[in-house]
Structure 1
């Protein structure tokens, strides 16, 4: 049996340990897993992509579905994605996600976005990352 002074010390430690465990769990970012592949994104859109580029730093494939033709590019690193985006045509709309982009006409991207997510970039992404932003 614990003495009263030890019992109080033990009871005081328990909430601190529980509070610390909860705080650490809440502060930890959710594990989102690995970035999606060209094949995974294409599958969400209902197709199997035809791979055009299969390199260590990026992969690119295209699909044609009932919504139209689109290109999906995935990147190994954020730096690689940023470099690609800096070279992307300013006049072409892009659908942009974490370590991936999709390229197509605006009409196709509007429908594709409902299937795979992402942010729609309508103009030069270096100036305005989303519609309506200035």
Structure 2
């Protein structure tokens, strides 16, 4: 079982790696826009939906991560400026941690917490190794 400090370290390292990575220009989505023209949700908006004011861990141009603790549990909310940035983060995500994934965002925590958060956030629950591109989603 992954401890919260390990999740925090992963969130910070993945955020820094994604923020520093090159090559996202071709798939870049203008800040505040998604393919359908609606603004993607921010860390603050996603966190507010589950009753949390996030403590920011990473606040870069391409990626933002906030830590939350609610009665549901502890988790990290990460938003991305582009699909390429999200894809890079997902490729680096640990295979042993489930993720709740939406449009240009992901939430990292235990399966129990993600099941509770999913009721209010929606998204797909990813349960397997992202690097193999074989994922089992729970719908």
Question: Matched residues in 2 for 1:102 and 1:96: separation?
Answer: 6
CA RMSD of aligned residues (A): 1.7
- Larger gyration radius, structure 1 or structure 2: 1
Question: Matched residues in 1 for 2:138 and 2:128: separation?
Answer: 8
Is 2:61 aligned against 1:77? no
Match of 1:37 in 2: 42
Structure having greater relative contact order (Cα 8 Å, sep ≥ 6): 2
TM-score norm. by structure 1 comes to: 0.73
**Judging changes above 3 Å, is the alpha-carbon distance between structure 1 residues 86 and 31 closer, same or farther for their aligned structure 2 residues?**
closer
Question: Matched residues in 2 for 1:71 and 1:129: separation?
Answer: 21
Count, aligned residues = 103
Structure 2: runs of 5+ lacking an equivalent: 1-34
Is 2:64 aligned against 1:59? yes
Match of 1:128 in 2: 135
Structure 1: runs of 5+ lacking an equivalent: 1-29
